[in-house]
Every structure is written in structure tokens, then in C-alpha cells.
Amino acid sequence: MQGKPGESLSLSDRIGVVEEAYEFMLAYAAQGHPRGNEGEHIRDFLGKADEALHGLATTARDAVRAAGAIEASFSPFIDVLDSDVTKARAGIALALGQRAINSQIIDNLNASIHLRALLTDLFLIDEALASSTT
């Protein structure tokens, strides 16, 4: 990626990156990597998800405009999305800040209400945008 992290990604691309990271995190947590034994690629997936989340609200607002959707109906929800992004990124940053990322850390991150809220937000806005163009 060039410029700021995630800058050139569409909303759909960003959602895909986050979904892929979450799916990898579920599998990683199930593998039972012990403390001090970091499994393959977890930092890469977390880093890519964090990059995709950076500036997501702006990308969502741009997607609403591009779809010709009614901005006033999306704007309050995008504010919620932005808040949930901030909270989920804090959890991702905490995990990335550890010397070793064991399965238990990722399992707890997966269970975080903040990450789950963010995923639901992403699915909701994606569906709402698709519905607004049909």
C-alpha cells in the first residue's frame, strides 16, 4: 500500500481484509499456541486488519456518496462505526504490542465485544449500501 495505511482500499476491500484476519484469528486461537511460541503469520494478519481499519469511517462516507445513498441515514451509523473501529484497533494494538502472541490472547481478542461489534457494523453497512443501490 502506498500513502497512509489502507488509503487505497475500497470499503469492500477493507471489509474483506478484516474478515480474512478474523477467520485466521479463529483458526489461530484453536491451534493452542503456547506462551512464547508465536504462530505463523498472526502479526501480519493483525497488522493488515489494523491498516484496513485506519480511516475506515472516511472510506465508508465516500462509499455512501459513491452509491448515491442518502447520507443523512448513514451518517449517525458511521459515527458508531468509527467509535467501534477505535475500540477494536486498541485491542489489536494491545495484541501486537506483546513480545509473543499466544492463542489465549487471540482467543480473548476474538471474544472482545468491541471486535464483534465492529464485525457486525461492517456487515450491516455493507448490506445497507447494497440495498440502497438496488
pLDDT per position as a tens digit, 36-90: 555 568 999 999 999 999 999 999 999 999 999 999 999 999 999 999 999 999 9
Could you tell me the three cell numbers for 51? 491498516
| Closest-CA residue to 128 (of 81, 91, 58, 93) | 81
105 Cβ contact list (under 8 Å, min separation 6):
95, 98
Look up the pTM and report it.
Answer: 0.88
pLDDT per position as a tens digit, 106-118: 999 999 999 999 9
**What domains, with CATH codes, occur in the chain?**
11-132 (1.20.120)
pLDDT at 1: 38
89 Cβ contact list (under 8 Å, min separation 6):
50, 53, 54
